[in-house]
Amino acid sequence: MIVKPRIRGFICTTSHPFGCASNVREQADVTRELGSVAGCKSALVVGCSAGYGLASRVVAGFGCGANTVGVSFEKPPETDKPASAGWYNNAAFDLFAREAGLKSTTFDGDAFSHEIKRQVIDELQANYEPIDLLVYSLASPIRAHPDSGERYRSVIKPLGEPYEARTLTLDVLKGTGRLTPISLDPATEDETVATIAVMGGDDWRRWVDQCADEGVLSEDFKTIAFTYLGNELTYPIYRGGTLGRAKEDLDRTCRELNEQYGRTGAEALVAALKAVVTQASTAIPVVPLYFSILFKVMKAAGTHEDCIAHINRLFREQLYGTEPRRIDEESRVRMDNFEMAEAIQEEVRQRWQSINEENLGELADVEGFAGEFLKIFGFGRDDVDYDAEISDLASVVRP
Ligand code: NAD
């Protein structure tokens, strides 16, 4: 089969096995080139197959030399349909980790369920040293509650007032875009509660508690979850909206975990990360326009980072660094310092005001955004022959 990108809006229904493997290889190489990090030895990454979770697993493995267990929800290939990109990323990670002499086990299934937690903990008890790092990097639209079975669906909506703005509609394959108006009604109370149930701290706490209760966490473990803060342009749809409420719950959970486990030297952290193109972030209205303006400004300033550069800096500078951490008044680790730098934000604000169809390509990195989006699915790489026939859709290695 020859695999080409099949795109509808911000969804790509195909992914390229060798392209995904090359992405993971590149992340591992970038990490190795930065040198080793004295950090974790045994790590669990929940949400390991893509975006910030994958980058965390790569840095834990290829930077710290840790054995890793990962959990994610991905689709295997079918006879005539490639797997999801995350499935290929996991297969490539497991392969490269083993080549490097690292233990690596990946579980595919619903991280919210009791069943997957059981399987993961059984594996950790049987085959791994107690974990000293638990990364929680889930981004999910839906959660079936593990006790009640109730299904919660998260929504990305403003609170209180309707929100009207412009966003970017992309033609990913051409690398072009146009500005389109969007209008969102405020969330209902039930929708807000559901979003907190899916994207808040409850499941993070369940992972930590169960791992601690069953003896698979080291006494001085670290656990980290990720948040986004953004600015006043993204505020109505992010921090001031339903997702922001869920992230406040994550901050609360972090404080509670520290109270509960801090005595033995363990610590829970929430890191505010920068904007990057992932499957989760492109689903947020307004984000494509804000991100593509931001990327153009940050690239010009020389401060732009992709997932792997950002997570390397997180591990090397903040998580396992020797200097005092960059912590805000809510005790969050601030990794978004380059994005939030006043000069960057001022330039983004000005461009946001003056952007129109004519100057879009000049003020925003539409092509870069589209390229990053394609790359998530293993497309648009120079080192992959996209016209070549693939004989085995389940392999990330060319026979
Ligand atoms: P992503 O879409 O790239 O990855 C999400 C991961 O969650 C994947 O591994 C997916 O398989 C997994 N997943 C989803 N539902 C699951 C389930 N039920 N069971 C098991 N695994 C499941 O997302 P991302 O953008 O890397 O987001 C990760 C975290 O980082 C989120 O908390 C997000 O809010 C945060 N964050 C993202 C950005 C950004 O710009 N992308 C910025 C700051 C913070």
CB of 77 shorter than 6 A to ligand 1: no
d(CA 119, CA 107): 8
Q: Considering only CA atoms, which of 311, 239, 273, 294 is closest in space to residue 60? A: 311
CB of 226 shorter than 6 A to ligand 1: yes
Domain 7-141+188-277+303-336 bears CATH identifier 3.40.50.720: yes
What pLDDT, on a 0 to 100 scale, did the predictor assign at position 361? Answer: 93
Alpha carbon of 163 to ligand 1 centroid (Å) = 25
Nearest CA to ligand 1 atom 12: 47
Tell me which residues are annotated as active site: 238
Decide if 17 contacts 88 (C-beta within 8 A): yes
Alpha carbon of 278 to ligand 1 centroid (Å) = 8
What pLDDT, on a 0 to 100 scale, did the predictor assign at position 119? Answer: 98
d(CA 86, CA 51): 9
Q: What is the model's pTM? A: 0.98
d(CA 235, CA 285): 12
Structure-token pair, residue 174: 């051409």
> Which of 134, 198, 226, 294 maximizes ligand 1 atoms within 8 Å of its Cβ, making it the mutation to test the pocket?
226
Helices (H), 177-235: 189-199, 202-213
Q: How confident is the chain (399 residues) per 10-residue block, as mean pLDDT?
A: 91 96 98 97 98 98 98 96 98 98 98 98 98 98 97 96 92 90 96 98 98 98 97 92 98 98 96 95 88 97 98 98 95 98 97 95 95 96 96 89
Alpha carbon of 357 to ligand 1 centroid (Å) = 31
CB of 52 shorter than 6 A to ligand 1: yes
Place of tokens 């070549």: 388
CB of 47 shorter than 6 A to ligand 1: yes
